[in-house]
Amino acid sequence: MHGAGVIREDEHDPYRRAEKWPDGTQCPQCRAVMHRGAWRWASEPPAATPAATSGQSRHSSSPHLCPACQRIRSHDAAGVLVIDAELLAGRHDQIRATIQAIARAEEREHPLERILAFEASAQGPWTIETTGLHLVRRLGHGLERATGSVLSTRYLQGEAKAVMHLSR
């Protein structure tokens, strides 16, 4: 069955609210702004509304941490990618550059998709933790194509987490 075992973030992510924040809600940590039901990067600070300037709040446009910043604060990754040490042999720079390019592209478009932690040891495997499932999937599949490696995925239903493993 297609999609069996896949986590639907909108149904299982404990950091996502069932109802959307009002437009103009801003994350005080990363400065992402709620716009039309989705977190977006603000190209400029949100315009002050008459209610906000008079000291009264327009329903709830007060600051609230976005789901990504909540995950970062509690160090609770939505996705984990482990890259085997043997796959890294002689390719550290290439793999690091691929990771950075994919992460920058994803974060530019989707504020909730960020690298939470990146542990790159000299001899051991690399571990990348992400704030969203989309980024960990893009990293895993992008590196799989770039390196000709094998990607395995486990979805931890009770934790709303994906663990991916990249090996030769």
Which one is predicted more confidently, 11 or 147? 147
> What is the average per-residue pLDDT within 134-153?
96
Q: Is the pTM of this model over 0.85?
A: no
Residue 114 scores a pLDDT above 90: yes
Calpha distance 20→35 (Å, rounded): 10
- Specify whether 163 is located in the same domain as 108: yes
User: Under DSSP, is residue 32 helix (H, G, I), strand (E, B) or coil?
Assistant: strand
Which one is predicted more confidently, 42 or 118? 118
Other CB atoms within a 10 A radius of the CB of residue 156 amount to 11
> What is the average per-residue pLDDT within 144-154?
95
DSSP string, 33-102: EEETTEEEE-SSPPPPPHHHHTT--STT-S----HHHHHHHHT--SEEEEE-HHHHTTTHHHHHHHHHHH
Position 1 in a domain: no
> What is the average per-residue pLDDT within 37-50?
67
- Specify whether 106 is located in the same domain as 34: no
Position 2 in a domain: no
The dihedral built from the CA positions of residue 85, 91, 92 and 94, taken in this order, carries a sign that is negative
- Specify whether 104 is located in the same domain as 137: yes
Range of the domain at 17: 9-65
